[in-house]
C-alpha cells in the first residue's frame, strides 16, 4: 500500500507529507498505521480528478519555497524538511523528508533545508540552461528571518558551529547574488504542506497554491 502511494506522489504532492510520514514505519507497522494509510486511500477516492495544472502561458521564472518542522518526529526528534520549486505558477519539483541529523535549534533545522533547497535550485537552473533558458537570479522564500541572516552574516558563524559546514556553501551563492533568500509570512509559506499536519481549511488553501485543480 505504501509502495503504491509513493509511486502516486509523483503526481499528487498533496499526499507527500502523509505518505512519507507513514513510510517510516514499514519495518514495524501497527494497526494505527494501517488505519491512517486507509484514510489516505479514502481521500484519494474522494478526489480522483484532482491533479496538477500546467498553463501554457506560465512564465519561466524559477523560484522556490522551503520549510522545516523543528523536532517534528516524536520518536527521534529529527526535523522534517519540505521543499517545492516553481516555474512561474507551475510546480515542477517537491519533496518531504526527515533530516539525517537532529537539529539543536529551529534555525539549524531551517538552515539545513535551505542548503538542500539551494542545491536543488542550482541543479534545476543548470537543466534549464541546457535547454537554452538562462536564469540569473533565483528567489528562495523562507519564513525564518534567522536563517536568512545567518546566510548573509559571517560573524554569526562562531555561534553556529554545531551546524554542519557542508550547508554553508549557501553563503557563497548568496554573496554572488544568484540566490536570493526572501522572507515570507508563515501563512503564505507553500512548503508548509510538506512538513506539518494541517487542518482541512489550511490544507485546501495550500493545495490550491501548489497548482492542484479539478479540470472538470
For the domain with range 62-192, which CATH number is right: 2.40.50.220, 3.30.420.10, 3.40.309.10, 3.20.20.70?
3.30.420.10
Most confident range (mean pLDDT) of 17-31, 46-60, 173-187 is 17-31
Give the model confidence (pLDDT) of 83-127 as tens digits. Answer: 999 998 899 999 999 988 888 888 888 888 988 898 899 899 899
Q: Which residue has the higher pLDDT, 152 or 206?
A: 206
Show me where the domains of the chain are located.
1-48, 62-192
Q: Of 71-80, 107-116, 165-174, 175-184, which range is least confident?
A: 165-174
Cβ of 21: how many Cβ atoms within 10 Å? 17
Q: In sequence order, which residues have a C-beta less than 8 Å from that of residue 9 and are 6 or more positions away?
A: 15, 16, 19, 20
- In this predicted structure, the answer to whether residue 2 has a pLDDT above a threshold of 60 is yes
**Confidence (pTM):** 0.86
- Compute CA distances 162 → 85, 136, 139, whole Å: 28, 32, 27
Q: What whole-number distance in Å separates Cα of residue 83 and Cα of residue 110? A: 11
Q: DSSP of 182-207, one letter per residue? A: EE--GGG-GGGGGTS---HHHHHHHH
Give the model confidence (pLDDT) of 10-51 as tens digits. Answer: 999 999 999 999 988 888 889 999 999 999 999 999 998 898
Amino acid at each position: 500500500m505504501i509502495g503504491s502511494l509513493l509511486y502516486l506522489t509523483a503526481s499528487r504532492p498533496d499526499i507527500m507529507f502523509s505518505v512519507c510520514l507513514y513510510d517510516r514505519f514499514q519495518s514495524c507497522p501497527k494497526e494505527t498505521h494501517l488505519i491512517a494509510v486507509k484514510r489516505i486511500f479514502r481521500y484519494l477516492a474522494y478526489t480522483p480528478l484532482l491533479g496538477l495544472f500546467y498553463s501554457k502561458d506560465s512564465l519561466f521564472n524559477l523560484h522556490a519555497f522551503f520549510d522545516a518542522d523543528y523536532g517534528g518526529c516524536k520518536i527521534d526528534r529529527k526535523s522534517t524538511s519540505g521543499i517545492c520549486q516553481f516555474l512561474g505558477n507551475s510546480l515542477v519539483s517537491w519533496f518531504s523528508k526527515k533530516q539525517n541529523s537532529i537539529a539543536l535549534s529551529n534555525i539549524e533545522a531551517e538552515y539545513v533545508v535551505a542548503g538542500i533547497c539551494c542545491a536543488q535550485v542550482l541543479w534545476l537552473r543548470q537543466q534549464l540552461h541546457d535547454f537554452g533558458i538562462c536564469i540569473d537570479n533565483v528567489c528562495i522564500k523562507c519564513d525564518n528571518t534567522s536563517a536568512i541572516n545567518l546566510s548573509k552574516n559571517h560573524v554569526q558563524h562562531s555561534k553556529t558551529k554545531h551546524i554542519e559546514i557542508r550547508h554553508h556553501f549557501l553563503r557563497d551563492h548568496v554573496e554572488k547574488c544568484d540566490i536570493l533568500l526572501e522572507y515570507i509570512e508563515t501563512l503564505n509559506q507553500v512548503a508548509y504542506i510538506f512538513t506539518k499536519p494541517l487542518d482541512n481549511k489550511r490544507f485546501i488553501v495550500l493545495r490550491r497554491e501548489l497548482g492542484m485543480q479539478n479540470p472538470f
